[in-house]
Amino acid sequence: MAGSDSQPKKAIPPKPAVEAPRKPLQVMHISRKAEEEIIDKESSKKNISDQSKDKRFDDKVPDETDISQLKKAPQQKTIISEEYNDNFEATSMEDLLRSENNSVNKNIHDQNIFEKRSRTVDEFDFDEDEFLAALEENQPIGTTGEIAKGSVIAVESDGIYVDIGGKAPGFMPKNECGLGVITNLKERFPKGLQVEVLVTREQNADGMVTISCRALELRKSWDKVQNLAKEGKVIRVKINGFNRGGVTCDFEGLRGFIPRSQLEDGENHESLVSKSINTAFLEVNPERRKLVLSEKKAAIASRFSELEIGQLIEGEILTIKPYGFFVDLKGVSGLLHHSMVTNGSMRSLREVFQTGESIKALITDLDPSRGRIGLNTALLEGPPGELITDKAKVMEEADERAVKARNSLNKEKVDPQKEQKDINLTS
């Protein structure tokens, strides 16, 4: 047994694994340098000096440019991830609690801001009068077609500036300063002169409006002409030109035209230049700027102003028509209808009056707009048919008989009104 005993074998230490991975020192040195350069760039951009002491803020996530550098060394990605894991394990519970408290405080702060922003208008001090005053103060002054008043503040070679109460003065071009030609603007519009203008263009980007004295005067002229035309007035104008169709004139700054057919001497209309004649209105159209006048109508209108219903007038028989006589009444013509000649029966109109004969008749109808005058001789008769049997006596006593006939005409005007009144009362 002794020979069989042998000394115990010593423990053989395990051989180091030949294939165990080893981290090359050179790679560790290079990756650490690249990481420090990235951290320096990020810290210089964000200026976080107070957090640089904390190791958690030393390791920054690289941006896109730094990632491109890291792609050149594939092993750096593995090293950086391991270091981040180590840093996370080294984080203490105190650090986690402090981070959680900061997050809670931030949420409370954001909620307070949201509550402030969501407050309604009623929660603020609100003065409606001040709000309306602010709106009125910022209201743009000067809409197209509006009449404004202001004072001249500056005169330039191309126009003038007028203060009309806006945030910028109104500008009036030289050709809009009035009717006709203005040679000296400073004499016509001295500084401080109060003027009334018409806004022709609204505010531009600088708040300036374009104004015009000429446009306002023309508007007033058209309004005046329209009123005169409605009243059937006769105006006197001066002829300042002619063409093949007629002559031209000016009235209240407006250009008027008189056709040759509406002139008393249309065949020699050129001779009327520089002469003044009476005219009446044929057409007034401000939209088309059309003003047409008539000398013949003016003669009729002026003559009509001298006539009235019931008036005894003397005239001359111009023509005889089947329906009556046309009588010249010194510039206008009247119609003596066959039913108004006599109360008796006549076989022919020529049995009573002849062409060129002078007669007296009563005016029973006047229509200035249509230029019509209705005459009557039957009212001058005593017994029916007296004009046929004793025409001379009727004409001699026409003035006395006209008074009686006029009373009957006035009675006829009153009776229909009384009859209408009686009808209204009974109904």
Complete domains list, the chain, with CATH: 26-82 (no CATH), 141-217 (2.40.50.140), 234-300 (2.40.50.140), 306-416 (2.40.50.140)
Residue 259 has pLDDT above 60, yes or no: yes
Q: Which helix (H) or strand (E) holds 318?
A: strand 312-321
SS3 182: coil
Q: What is the pLDDT of residue 346?
A: 86
Q: Which helix (H) or strand (E) holds 23?
A: none
Band of pLDDT at residue 267, cut at 50, 70 and 90? confident
Q: What is the pLDDT of residue 88?
A: 47
Q: Where are the alpha helices (DSSP H) in 142-212?
A: 185-188
User: Which is more confidently placed, 424 or 342?
Assistant: 342
pTM greater than 0.85: no
Task: Please state, in angstroms and as integers, the Cα–Cα distance from residue 352 to each residue in 317, 360, 383, 384, 396, following that order.
Answer: 11, 13, 15, 13, 16
Residue 303 has pLDDT above 60, yes or no: yes
SS3 content of the chain, % helix, strand, coil (to 5): 40, 25, 35
Full DSSP string of 111-125: HHHHHHHT--GGGS-
Q: Could you report the per-residue pLDDT of 178-208, keeping only the tens digit for each?
A: 887 788 888 889 999 999 999 888 877 777 8
Q: What is the pLDDT of residue 70?
A: 47
Task: Please state, in angstroms and as integers, the Cα–Cα distance from residue 15 to each residue in 18, 137, 265, 332, following that order.
Answer: 8, 97, 145, 150
Residue 247 has pLDDT above 60, yes or no: yes
Q: What is the pLDDT of residue 168?
A: 77
339, 349, 415, 345: which is closest to 379 by C-alpha?
Answer: 339
Q: Could you report the per-residue pLDDT of 109-154, keeping only the tens digit for each?
A: 556 555 555 555 454 455 666 656 654 555 556 678 888 899 999 9
Q: What is the pLDDT of residue 147?
A: 87
Q: What is the pLDDT of residue 145?
A: 82
